[in-house]
Amino acid sequence: MSKRVFSGPAPHIFTLPPGSDFLRAVARQVLDECAADGPESLADITILTPTRRAGRALIEAFSAERGGEGAAILPVIRPIGDIDADESPFEPGELADAAPPAIDPARRLFELTRLILAKETAQDRVMTLGGAMALAEPLA
């Protein structure tokens, strides 16, 4: 079960003064939000970062905000921008299985061709099957 952080009334907009350390501010806010539930509640939080480097910097920010108090339970920190092609950004069973399997490439091409023909017909434009397929190929 994941914890709902920042559960007050929406919108959830926060500002920082210029020159502030963004990652330390994020770490401080997350630690403050979870303080009442105990340190183990941090394990229920997933934070997505743009890169692995940002994830490592966020781990350092959590350590700095805790004052270097030794071992700690941290949120799950996942990079979304520079993962390996065969590596899922999520744990198996989490969101990795949420997407259906990819359809066959030939079927994808024909489905896109059909959609392009339907769009052109709906807009009273004439399009040949070959023309629609030529438009569909780069999309497939």
Structural domain includes residue 123: yes
pLDDT tens column, 129-138: 999 999 999 9
- For residue range 22-74, what is the model confidence (pLDDT) as tens digits? 999 999 988 888 878 877 888 888 888 888 889 999 999 998 888 877 677 88
Q: Are residues 62 and 131 in the same domain?
A: no
| Tokens found for residue 91 | 């744990």
Number of domains present in the structure of the chain = 2
35 to each of 10, 19, 58, 64, 80, how far by Cα in Å? 21, 26, 18, 16, 27
Same domain assignment for residues 14 and 67: yes
Q: Are 28 and 55 within one domain?
A: yes
pLDDT, averaged across the chain: 81
Is 24 contained in some domain?
yes
Q: Residue 99 falls within a domain, yes or no?
A: no
Domain of residue 20 covers: 1-90
DSSP string, 65-89: HHTS-S-----EEEESSS--TT--S
